[in-house]
């Protein structure tokens, strides 16, 4: 039997990078996958087909997790289509980097809304059906930047630190109903976004990591799949760092 057989997952922001890796691996382990995208319909449809090719049900939804009503509607639509939701992966997020002295209010608010408010919206929407089932695993994608901070990313670091506090609070609130809530904190993960960076800069970052390499979306997805599964049934309120030893 596969690790996540007969389970249904929602993954937000899955049309690229880490989100795509998570959606594909959950499907590999037998989960049906509903996922959201905001801009790239072509990539979303391609991912939908890739997931279906693994022999599970998949559907792409154009939905903005930072919108409260849209999140409620999404959960209702997924429940109508799939019947239940066992796993929620809050992955959607953006960056708008800049030193604080140059950061606009719009840049700060946009990142908080997309990264942190979205986690509230989706968790709030999924809470009632999970309480009814007395079962569920909520996994929030935070960042090592939310733990240690990073120059030029005050907005991003604040949003990711907020996710950690939110995760721990939800774990305390919902644990008695057998609903677990954990966070995964990636470090330097190599995606199509980092591929555009100067190779010497990237090599310098790799050298500063104890494992001497950047992570992959699969590295993050493996942690998510574990936390989503019954193998992690006694783990809640935790932050799993997937960072190659950047933080110890």
According to DSSP, the residues that pair with 34 across neighbouring strands are 10, 59
From the CB of residue 198, how many other CB atoms can be counted at a distance below 10 Å?
8
DSSP conformation letters of 125-184: HHHHHHHHHT-EEEEEE--THHHH--TT-HHHHHHHHHHHHHHHHHHHHHGGGTEEEEEE
Cα distance between the two ends of the chain = 35
Radius of gyration for the chain, computed over Cα atoms and rounded to the nearest angstrom: 17
Separation between Cα atoms, residue 32 and residue 9, nearest integer Å: 6
Q: Which of 37, 61, 156, 234 is catalytic?
A: 156
According to DSSP, the residues that pair with 36 across neighbouring strands are 61
156 is catalytic: yes
The bridge status of strand 58-62 relative to strand 87-90 is unpaired
Find out whether 110 and 209 touch, Cβ atoms under 8 Å: no
What the block records as the tokens of 93 is: 């997020």
> If you search the block for the tokens 């604080």, which residue do you land on?
100
- Which positions are annotated as active-site residues? 156
């Amino acid at each position: 039997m596969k690790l996540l057989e007969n389970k249904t997952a929602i993954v937000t922001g899955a049309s690229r990078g880490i989100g795509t890796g998570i959606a594909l691996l959950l499907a590999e382990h037998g989960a049906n996958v509903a996922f959201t995208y905001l801009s790239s319909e072509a990539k979303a449809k391609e991912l939908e087909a890739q997931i279906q090719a693994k022999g599970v049900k998949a559907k792409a939804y154009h939905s903005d997790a930072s919108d409260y009503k849209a999140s409620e509607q999404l959960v209702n639509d997924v429940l109508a289509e799939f019947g239940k939701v066992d796993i929620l992966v809050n992955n959607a997020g953006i960056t708008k980097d800049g030193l604080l002295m140059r950061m606009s209010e719009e840049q700060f608010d946009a990142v908080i809304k997309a990264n942190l408010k979205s986690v509230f919206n989706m968790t709030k929407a999924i809470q009632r059906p999970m309480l009814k089932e007395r079962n569920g695993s909520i996994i929030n994608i935070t960042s090592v930047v939310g733990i240690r901070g990073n120059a030029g990313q005050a907005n991003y670091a604040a949003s990711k630190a907020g996710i950690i506090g939110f995760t721990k609070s939800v774990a305390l609130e919902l644990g008695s109903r057998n609903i677990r809530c954990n966070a995964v904190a990636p470090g330097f993960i190599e995606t199509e976004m980092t591929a555009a960076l100067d190779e010497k800069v990237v090599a310098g970052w790799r050298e500063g990591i104890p494992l001497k390499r950047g992570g992959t979306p699969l590295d993050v997805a493996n942690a998510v799949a574990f936390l989503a599964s019954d193998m992690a049934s006694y783990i809640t309120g935790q932050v799993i760092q997937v960072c190659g030893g950047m933080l110890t």
